[in-house]
Amino acid sequence: MLMRTDPFRELDRFAQQMLGTATPGTWSKPAAMPMDAYRDGEEFVVCFDLPGVTPDAIELDIERNVLTVKAERRPVPGGDVQMQVSERPLGVFSRQLFLGDTLDTEHISAGYEAGVLTLRIPIAEKAKPRRIDIAGTTGDRKEIRA
Could you list the beta-strand ranges (E) of the chain: 2-3, 35-40, 43-49, 58-63, 66-73, 91-99, 109-113, 116-122
**Neighbouring-strand partners of residue 23:** none
Query: Where do runs of H (alpha helix) occur along 20-66?
Result: none
Instruction: Check whether 26 has a pLDDT greater than 60.
Output: no
Mind listing the pLDDT tens digit for each residue in 66-119? 999 999 988 777 778 777 777 777 888 889 999 988 898 899 999 999 999 999
Q: Given pLDDT bands bounded at 50, 70 and 90, which one contains residue 27?
A: very low
25 pLDDT tier (thresholds 50, 70, 90): very low
Give the whole-number percent of the chain exceeding pLDDT 70. 72
pLDDT band at 23 (very low <50, low <70, confident <90, very high): very low
Nearest to 4 by CA among 118, 99, 106: 99
Surface-to-core class of residue 69, CB atoms within 10 Å of its CB (0-12 exposed, 13-18 middle, 19+ buried) = buried
Neighbouring-strand partners of residue 123: 103
If pLDDT is split at 50, 70 and 90, which confidence band does 37 have?
A: very high
